[in-house]
Amino acid sequence: MEIAAIIVAAGRGTRAGGDVPKQWRVLHGRRVADWTVAAFQRHPRIDRVVLVLHPDDLGQAEGFADVTIAIGGATRDASVQAGLEALAGDPPGLVLIHDVARPLVSADVIDRVIAALACSAGAAPALAVTDALWQGEAGLVAGTRDRTGLYRAQTPQGFRYGAILAAHRAHPGGAADDVEVAGAAGLDVAIVAGDEVNLKITSSADFARAETLMGEAMDIRVGQGYDVHAFEPGAACMLCGVAVPHDRKLKGHSDADVGMHALTDALYGALAEGDIGQHFPPSEAQWKGAASHIFLEHSIGLARAKGYDLANCDVTLVCEQPKIGPHTGAMRAELARILGVDAGRVSVKATTSERLGFTGRQEGIAALAVATLVRA
């Protein structure tokens, strides 16, 4: 069953301060909306994402790929309905509705909402109220309230698409959230466990808290790669995507780019995804003479599909000849282009083995690589 996510981002977020609405403020290196959209795009069960924007924010949409844009209304429920209507031409089976101001939503919370929809028309995450509740008047405590059975609502709130669309079309407006809309239509909504980390950014202090939480939750992966290729007659060696003139070339099933192979294996290693041979078996004729950028593009694409960004990488080439120094700038630039990162995140350097071993005898070149992947 297809599942769509609607991210409501049409509000102005004035309570959070700043010169722009809170969804466009930078949080931990990216805009709040970027983090929120990415959380759903990388989830394996989410097939489509609709982003509901204020008309003044349409220029912000240029930074998103594979996202349907809808124009929001004057209220939250009007914006949600706009997102639902954007799906009406090709309706999904289920829809999750999420506030853009909750960028730390986890895959586990999303999973719990989806699982509950198997036996309920609606499902939403929440946290039981554990603090004492007071009634206040004129700055003084005027009484207490029973907290039994009370919950703090979170998003995403999930529903069977047809049912929640009909509920929104019938609702007069002014609902606090989609659970209220569903309740007015007689739909049962299951409560699933929320997450304290899934906070809603409302004030400027929430940005500081979110920054702290994201730093604590950061997932860092480090992988290493090693490769060796022997020399054979030729006129140049392909190294880190650059043809380096030499009186021999490197021997291999593909173009034998030893540096790029080591870096590719470092990325696979960081992901616990094996090595080049598993993804591109040398026994298959289609890879004979293949350009090694194909392998590197696959490994970084796999990393991004899993939600990781490349923090940095470092390649060391071990050889007596050819001289690598004059070409490292071009090598860094080419690797950065393939990886889709700034060249400042890519290092290429060389060393010799002091004339020891096969590299010292100039029988071939060895390469070592380290790559660091980060997912926040």
Residues 209 and 252 in one domain: no
Cβ neighbors of 333 (< 8 A, separation 6 or more) are 343
Domains: count for the chain: 2
Residues 280 and 297 in one domain: yes
User: Which residues in the chain come in under a pLDDT of 70?
Assistant: 13-18, 217, 376
Domain coverage including residue 270: 219-375
- Token look-up 């959209």 returns 37
Cβ atoms of 103 and 26 within 8 Å: the answer is no
297 φψ region: left (φ > 0), alpha (ψ -120 to 50), beta (else): alpha
User: What is the enclosing helix (H) or strand (E) of 304?
Assistant: helix 293-305
**Where residue 117 sits, what CATH number does that domain have?**
3.90.550.10
- CA dist 326 and 143 (Å) reads 77
For 59, counting Cβ atoms within 10 Å of its Cβ (0-12 exposed, 13-18 middle, 19+ buried), the class is exposed
Assign 67 to helix, strand or coil: coil
193 φψ region: left (φ > 0), alpha (ψ -120 to 50), beta (else): beta
**In the prediction, which pLDDT does 376 show?**
57
Q: What is the dihedral of CA 105, 107, 111, 114, to 10 degrees?
A: 60
Residues 337 and 364 in one domain: yes
Residues 46 and 71 in one domain: yes
Residues 323 and 371 in one domain: yes
Assign 110 to helix, strand or coil: helix
Residues 60 and 204 in one domain: yes
The residue count of the chain comes to 376
**Could you please report the per-residue DSSP string of 327-358?**
GHHHHHHHHHHHHTS-GGGEEEEEE--TT-HH
- CA dist 159 and 264 (Å) reads 42
- The token pair that represents 117 in the structure block: 């929809």
Residues 98 and 37 in one domain: yes
Q: What share of the chain is helix, strand, coil (3-state, %, to 5)?
A: 35, 30, 35
Global confidence as pTM? 0.65
Residues 176 and 233 in one domain: no
**Where residue 242 sits, what CATH number does that domain have?**
3.30.1330.50
**In the prediction, which pLDDT does 15 show?**
64
Assign 210 to helix, strand or coil: helix
Residues 203 and 133 in one domain: yes
